[in-house]
Chains A and B, each alone.
Chain A
Amino acid sequence: MSAQAIIEAKAVSKWYGQFHALKGINLTVHKGERIVICGPSGSGKSTLIRCFNRLEAHQEGEIVVNGVTLHGRMSNVAAVRSNVGMVFQHFNLFPHMTVLMNCMAGPMWVKGVSAAEARHTALKFLERVRIPEQANKFPVQLSGGQQQRVAIARSLCMKPDVMLFDEPTSALDPEMVSEVLETMTGLARDGMTMVCVTHEMGFARAVADRVIFMDAGQIVEEGTPDAFFGNPRHDRTKVFLSQILKH
């Protein structure tokens, strides 16, 4: 691939105390690429993407985001983070602000955008996730699926170069999963660079350029969805796929 690399992880290792959470991960995310990371719980997939905006610190190796190397003494972490959107499993909307304000806060407070412009942008992205009519409600008044879509809109308002999704549908009722996945599929179609930790294999098959399977802090297998699902090479991958595709 010749496209510009947005995230480059080289031999990244991380420990939680004695526990070796990431063991020399190498991964490059190119502009416009959609990557799905899956794997059993505790395999380090969430930890990995949380390292990409330095919510977690890695101890060894190098992570370069948009040409900036992440490390403990960086002074421009805010600039990097505002270019990397993140959607969390538990939404993490700001409950004391209206939906609209949740979306306006980032552009106004971090990027210094005027209130009018922030509002315009916020309404545009709320429209895009198809909930403009909820703009003046508070997050608790919304369903889980709606909250997650607001969270996506909130991230989009920062106009990020890449979006990280940390199990965005795992805390949702089954009925609400599809509305969030549709929103994400729409984003992918529009060319957003995405790294998704998810177990939604249908989504992975339909959207991903590359599927990555992690286990015990390592990347075990990666490939195109067709290769990954049709012809997994490693036994660990086969066991995992047979487990989650059984139902």
Chain B
Amino acid sequence: MLYPDTVEAEVLVHKLWFVATMFGIVLLVFMAFNMSGTGFAELMRPVIGEPSTSGLYGRFAIGFSIAVIFTLNVVLIGFAPLKLQIGIVWLELLLLFIAFFETFHLSLPFIREKLPFLISQGVVTTLYVSAISIVIASVIAVAGAVAKLSNNGFAYAIASFYTSFFRGLPLLMQVYLIYLGLPQLGFVINAVPAGILALSLCYGAYMTEIFRSGIQSIDRGQWEASRSMGFGFALTMRRIILPQALPVIIPPTGNQFISMLKDSSLVSVIGVWELMFLARTLGQKTFQHMEMLISAAVIYWMLSICLELIQSRIERHYARSKVR
């Protein structure tokens, strides 16, 4: 939390120098681009005449109009209450984003035709591969963290070797090593289990470190209090230490989950039909790459947003014992 001062400063976007500077920069930037071919220039036709022949005057007029709209927009949003500000800015950025994709002239019917398969095959595979990997990685992480904190030389050595190795290799290489390497040892492994194994081991290694720091953040007094009541190690860990470590662990772990969701795209290289694989292959035949890639991008993003929401809910849940 950035604790705000009680002395209210004037809102930045209402300071004259800031507004003027912003106006100037926007004006210069849009004058630097030749906007005469755009829809906005067409809208300006009554003022500047034929856009392509309007020259410097045209550029200035277009840049000036955009700068006025932009600055006015920012200044007005500055008056709104916090929640509304956040909503409006999100919405505007989203609209700009959509406008950007509009310029690709994507074929909507094509997307509509392929989307069901992209979801029923791709999203489902992506989700279950990441979900299983997340569960396994979490289990590995708890075990690894305890091992790294223990006084047992074997446990510590194995756990630190493991985290060092799997954090030290690129995930893509781990995917290849497991998929292509294990058969050399006689274990023929399918693409999906190989992918899950690689993701679990890699993320288990990162999450081991997160869990370790979470467990270490708990005051020694908590251990002593539970010991003094006769709690054994497992009970202390499960009921006292881990529940308190969770609020510390959850934000970085949420990060890992989101990251894993997207890194599950790496298993596409060994032919798992997940979202990324389908996004690359479905559009190939008709050279409609962008349609599928952008659809997949939006789907990845929406899935990540879901995880973000879940994470913030859990964080709020654990904030309970901290409020006065």
User: A residues bordering B, Cβ < 8 Å?
Assistant: 53, 55, 77-82, 84-86, 88, 90, 92-97, 105-106, 109-110, 138-141, 154-155, 158
Contact = CB atoms under 8 A, between A and B. Distances in A.
A105 B239 contact: yes
Given A93-B225, A140-B321, 17 more contacts: A55-B224, A80-B230, A81-B228, A86-B228, A88-B221, A88-B225, A96-B244, A96-B318, A105-B229, A105-B239, A106-B230, A109-B235, A110-B235, A138-B321, A140-B323, A155-B228, A155-B229
B4 interface: no
A110 B320 contact: no
A53 B225 contact: no
Contact of A78 (B219, B231, B244): B231
B324 interface: yes
B232 interface: yes
Contact of B230 (A79, A90, A138, A140): A79
B240 interface: yes
B239 to A, nearest CB: 7
Contact of A94 (B240, B322, B324): B240
A141 B323 CA distance: 8
Nearest to B232: A78
Contact of A110 (B224, B225, B230, B240): B230
A96 B221 contact: no
A109 B221 contact: no
B313 interface: no
Nearest to B220: A92
A92 B222 contact: yes
Interface string B3-19: 00000000000000000
Contacts of A97: 321
B271 interface: no
Interface string B206-248: 0000000000000101101111111110010001100110000
Contacts of B243: 96
A95 B239 contact: no
Given A78-B231, A82-B230, A88 B224 contact: yes
A86 B225 CA distance: 8
A138 B229 contact: no
A82 B229 contact: yes
A71 to B, nearest CB: 16
Contacts of B229: 81-82, 105-106, 110, 154-155, 158
B228 A109 contact: no
Given A88-B225, A94-B222, A94-B240, A109 B231 contact: yes
Interface string B300-324: 0000000000000000001011111
A107 B322 CA distance: 25
A84 B228 CA distance: 7
Contacts of B224: 55, 86, 88, 92
A55 B322 contact: no
Nearest to B226: A94
Contacts of A92: 219, 221-222, 224-225
A92 B227 CA distance: 11
A105 B239 CA distance: 9
A81 B324 contact: no
A62 to B, nearest CB: 21
Contacts of A94: 222, 225-226, 240, 244
9 contacts: A55-B224, A81-B230, A82-B229, A84-B228, A94-B226, A97-B321, A110-B229, A140-B321, A155-B229
A155 B225 CA distance: 10
Most chain B Cβ neighbours within 10 Å, of A77, A90, A96: A96
Nearest to A50: B224
Contacts of A90: 221
B221 to A, nearest CB: 4
A100 to B, nearest CB: 13
Interface string B137-164: 0000000000000000000000000000
A106 B225 CA distance: 10
A93 B243 CA distance: 14
Contact of A140 (B225, B239, B318, B324): B324
Interface string B120-143: 000000000000000000000000
Contact of B228 (A55, A96, A139): A55
A138 B243 CA distance: 14
B196 to A, nearest CB: 32
B321 A158 contact: no
Given A53-B228, A55-B227, A81-B230, A95 B235 contact: no
Interface in B226-284: 226-232, 235, 239-240, 243-244
Contacts of A155: 228-229
A95 B244 contact: yes
A96 B239 CA distance: 10
